[in-house]
Structure 1
Amino acid sequence: MRPLGTRRAALVAGAATVAALALGGCSAGQVAETAILETPIAGVDTQTTDGSVFIRNLQVEYNGIEGYAKGENAPLELSLFNQTAEPVTVTISSAPPDLPQVVSADQVGFVSAAATVTTPGEVAASPSVAPSASAPAATVRPARIEIGPLSTAMFRPSDLAPLQVIGLQGALTPGAAVNLVFEFSNGADKLVVQAPVATPLSPAPRGPAEIGEDAPELEGH
């Protein structure tokens, strides 16, 4: 027969082993769950009050720390989701805001350098390149978007005919936003949404350091 003290020691060691395994399994589950979490997407997410149309990742393309000057155009990034079994037409415009650091634009539309309107989604050259004298004048198609039943419409600044706010009524800089109005053909209440300037993927470079800016002070000086 095993002595009583030895039996107690064995029981304590077994319990400690079970506890360690349980904690290890719990920890492994948390790590696995964290690993599959999706990275948060920048931009505004909202929806109609009846839940019929979702607006996702609404933002203005970041173009540098100086942003966009008054009168310029600014490309938008946007995804629209029709949650109904019927087609829905979404119309986007801009209106003067009553909020600080929010500007409006003359209109919202698809800007194409070609004379013919193209379908958004095709990759094109940078819109910042000015057309030559022989190139066709840019055309604008109003932002009137028809979305099929249970379908999605996605717009990116790299599209051949990007969705843009046209003729900004004020400077649009990082930290500011443009005022947009969404109207829906299915009778859902219109939405007034502020589209912010996107956050850059990397921090802006610092200017040249002043002499002695980060130098430690010497004792006795």
Structure 2
Amino acid sequence: MTRSIRGARRGAVLLAGAATTGLLMSGCGAGQIAETANIRPAVPGVNVETTDGLFKVRNAIVEYSDPLGYPSGGDAPLSMALYNDSAQPITVTVTTDSAEAVVLVDTTATPAATPSPTTAASPDASPDPTGEPPATPTVEPSPGASGRPDPSASPGVPATPDPTVPATPAPPAGAPAQVEIPALGYLLLNDETGRILQLVGLDTALAPGRSVNLTFEVNGERLETPVPVAVPQSPAPRGSLPVGDEGHGG
């Protein structure tokens, strides 16, 4: 009788220990799965390279704008790093079929000032202190001249530039998407460096979760890859909830 009681107690102790061990193991497993699921890459960009590994594209991505993304027909900035591991400088051309063009943009450049017509007044337009109206500039000889008209001069042409004539147009804001990378060098294209690649005239609206197609051409080889839109580093702020006693009852 005593022996059977002791056996029953020993069996109960073993069952309790097994249950505790199972709970501990399940808790450790759950913790590891949750922690692993939260790990994300630091930069969720695209990495591609040529077959010989001498040209590399790293962290290529469309910069995040807002939850609405970029509209169809709009522009979208790109960010990436380009590496040249060869002993010779290379020229890289970037194209796309997801927009009208890819251009190289200098974000630090300031637009050229448009000349104002009021700042280009002729010296002959100054008022005469005697009150008499000024003579016609085309027939009045300049001080110190012999008084004879210069036969080589074209009558009726003012000496100063006509402010109504348009000035030479400023160079376009974006150059073709062709960049030079020195031997054993690299090129960073992002807002921090002041130079970026930009998609111009998007074919369709571009929002987070979508991507565009880019083609890199270097030394006769083409690299084609989709490039996604970046996700925000922090969640978008939520709207504030109304505060008051309405709806809580009396």
TM class, shorter-length: 0.5 to 0.7
Residues 65-92 of structure 1: CA deviation (Å, up to 9, x unaligned):
0000011111110100001111111100
Asked if 1:182 is matched to 2:216, the reply is yes
Structure 1 distance, partners of 2:99, 2:173, is 17
- Aligned with 1:166: secondary structure? strand
Partner of 2:55: 53
Unaligned runs of 5+ in 1: 1-38, 96-103, 113-122, 211-221
Q: 1:48 to 1:209 in 2, by over 3 A?
A: farther
- Considering only aligned residues, what root-mean-square deviation do their CA atoms show, in Å? 2.8
Q: Output aligned runs, 1:1-221, within 5 Å.
A: 40-95=42-97, 104-112=98-106, 124=108, 134=114, 138-184=172-218, 186-187=219-220, 189-207=221-239
The answer to whether the Cα contact below 8 Å between 1:76 and 1:157 also exists between their aligned partners in 2 is no
Count how many residue pairs are aligned between Structure 1 and Structure 2: 149
- Structure 2 Cα separation of the partners of residues 181 and 205 of structure 1: 36
Distance in structure 1 (CA, Å) of the matches to 2:201 and 2:113: 22
Pairwise CA distance, 1:141: 0.4
Residue 157 (structure 1) shift: 3.0
Q: Are the counterparts in 2 of residues 86 and 148 from structure 1 also a CA contact under 8 Å?
A: yes
Q: TM-score, normalised by structure 2?
A: 0.53
- Structure 1 residue 207, shift from structure 2 partner: 4.7
**Percent identical residues:** 42
Contact 1:111–1:161 (CA<8 Å) still a contact in 2?
yes
- Structure 1 residues 160-199: Cα deviation after superposition (integer angstroms, max 9, x where no partner): 4432011111101000111111100x23x31111111112
Structure number with greater Rg is 2
Partner Cα separation in structure 2 for residue 163 and residue 62 of structure 1: 14
- The structure with higher relative contact order (CA 8 Å, sep 6+) is 2
AA aligned opposite 1:167: G
Kindly provide the amino acid, as one letter, of the partner of residue 46 in structure 2.
V
| CA gap 1:86/1:41 in 2 versus in 1, 3 angstroms | same
Q: Which amino acid aligns with 1:155?
A: L
Question: Aligned in 2, Cα 1:137/1:183: closer, same or farther, shift over 3 Å?
Answer: closer
| Corresponding residue SS for 1:62 | coil
8 Å contact kept, 2:189–2:195: no
- What is the TM-score with the length of structure 1 in the denominator? 0.59
Q: Could you list the runs of 5+ residues in structure 2 that have no partner in the other structure?
A: 1-40, 116-169, 243-250
**Residues in 2 aligned to 1:150 and 1:133: alpha-carbon distance in whole angstroms:** 39
Mapped contact 1:111–1:138 kept (Cα < 8 A) = no
CA separation in 2, counterparts of 1:110 and 1:175?
24
